[in-house]
Amino acid sequence: MKKILWLCPLMLIMLVYIGCDNKEKDDDDTLGGQLTETTWASEVEKYPFLSYFPVYDGELENHRYSETFGMLQYIIMDYNCEESVKTGYCSKLMADGFIDKDGYYEKTTTEYKLTVIVSYSGKTLSLIFSASPIK
């Protein structure tokens, strides 16, 4: 529980940083490819831990991978989408065995403790996928 409380402020800061990026800029090396068009399948190839999460069928308009203290994170911002996209993905999480923890979803596998934070506001859906290796 302490880890989640520690991670929440960090994730909120990351969301603010990603949400404030200038969408007018061309994607370049300084942005780490986060604004390039991509698919869930190609991201799973680059970041295999994403295969533990249900496929996200929405647009990956702004995406970013990071690794912090051994925890793997992948963040997606999907702009101008309906709230039904959020509820649909939450249903997928529940069907895949994730437990609703009132604001985030959690599941443990033999390799990772998985967490998904789902947030929807102003027609923007943000998804934060986290995988902490089990030691």
pLDDT at 128: 96
pLDDT value, residue 74: 95
The domain locations on the chain are 2-16+38-133
What is the model's pLDDT at position 14?
Answer: 56
pLDDT the model gives residue 46: 93
Burial of 129 from C-beta contacts in 10 A (0-12 / 13-18 / 19+): buried
Tell me how far apart the alpha carbons of residues 129 and 107 are, in angstroms, rounded to a whole number: 11
CA angle 10/79/39 to nearest 5° reads: 90
For the chain, which residues score pLDDT lower than 70?
A: 1-36
65-93 pLDDT per residue, tens:
999 888 999 999 988 889 999 999 999 99
**Bridge partner residues of 119 (DSSP):** 126
Place of tokens 């069928």: 57
31 alpha carbon, distance to own chain's centre? 17
Query: What's the confidence (pLDDT) of residue 30?
Result: 45
d(CA 79, CA 115): 22
Q: How far apart are CA 116 and CA 103, in angstroms?
A: 9
